[in-house]
Amino acid sequence: MSRIAVLGGGAGGHAVAAECVWAGHEVTLVEAPEFAATIAETRDSRTVEVLGRGPEPVPAKLAGATTDVAAGVAGAEIVFIIVPCFGHEPMAQAVAPHLVDGQAVVFFGEGSGALVLRKVLRDRGVRADVLVGETNTLPYLARMRGPGRVHVIWKKGGTLLAAYPGVRGGELLARLRPIWPYMSAATNVLETTLINFNAIDHVPTMICNAGFLETRTTPCLLWGEGASPGVARAIEAVDGEILAIRGALGFADRTPYRDFLFAQGFLDARQPTTHAAVHQSTLAVSTFPCGPQALQSRYLTEDVPYAHVLIADIGDVAGVDTPVIDGLIALASAMNADDYRARGRTLASLGLGGLGRRELLAVVNEGDRR
């Protein structure tokens, strides 16, 4: 049994907490004080109820739930941080002073959280020997279905794990695979940042369907009726630019987005085109709420500044042009009257500005020299 702290009181945090309990660990769910309401029920009951594992909700009994970050991470061997990208920095700042030698801190969800924590630890002069890592995605689809109750759909694969520095990836994977045996290794945290499914399928589909998303008053099938052949080609173009960056950086994994749909279990069989893969996947029946505020969805407000902007910046270092991604950043910025390029996450904002390809890879693979 290990002591585990799960930071983040959303659906992903509840799901990960339950999974760790079922794996035999002592788990504390931690949320920032300003979001205390999200774990109020769980704090009282110390129980997460999970839908989707069987016909009835399956309970997971926690050691506790708290908004005291220091108390929550004290004695934890593994600290999971499961928050949206805009929560990476605040949560990293909250946890950094309380970390000690031997702990592992792992960000679950979209990549680059590990690089945020790297900068926070350096800026604050934290010298603890902490193993930092991240995944490229959550290992399941999760949605809250009431206080303390979460619905979970387990993925079969497609969840990659990398450590910072990359040379410690095997060590980190060995610690997490007993809980998630379908996890696979990524080379480093640039690769997890670049295998970002939300960046690939959220942004182009939202931008291409902006008119009916804003004007309809009933939910739509965003990857059903919204994924026309042209929209699917836009998704494929974004994927193509990201694949080119991965190739220029020397990453061996060149799996296209459509095959990742199969790897995650969203498809019964691989498909020859992105259009066919999307329409035969479980995404095709996924609903999206339309209305005047539709473009304020995290599908744009998170995925453009925190994923597309960073991916385009990495592309510049790798020597790969990203005209489609650049265009989507510009369109999303114009549509939402928000300069995502100016305020988005970049290598410079992560303390990695000015590095060439070789220097950037050396940092993420081998770590910083102290």
> CA torsion sign, 296 to 112 to 277 to 319?
positive
User: Which residue stretches of the chain have pLDDT < 70?
Assistant: 369-370
- How confident is the model over 190-224, as pLDDT tens digits? 999 999 999 999 999 999 999 999 999 999 999 99
- Domains annotated on the chain, with CATH: 3-194 (3.40.50.720), 197-362 (1.10.1040.10)
- How confident is the model over 233-245, as pLDDT tens digits? 999 999 999 999 9
- How confident is the model over 63-118, as pLDDT tens digits? 999 999 999 999 999 999 999 999 999 999 999 999 999 999 999 999 999 999 99
Assess contact for 125 and 25: CB atoms under 8 A: no
Phi, psi of 290 (to 5 degrees): -90, 170
Laid out side by side, the sheet with 104-107 consists of 64-66, 26-30, 3-7, 78-81, 104-107, 131-135, 160-164, 184-185
Predicted local confidence at residue 309, as pLDDT: 98
Examine residue 323 and say whether the peptide bond preceding it is cis (omega within 30 degrees of 0): no
* pTM, 2 dp: 0.96
Predicted local confidence at residue 368, as pLDDT: 87
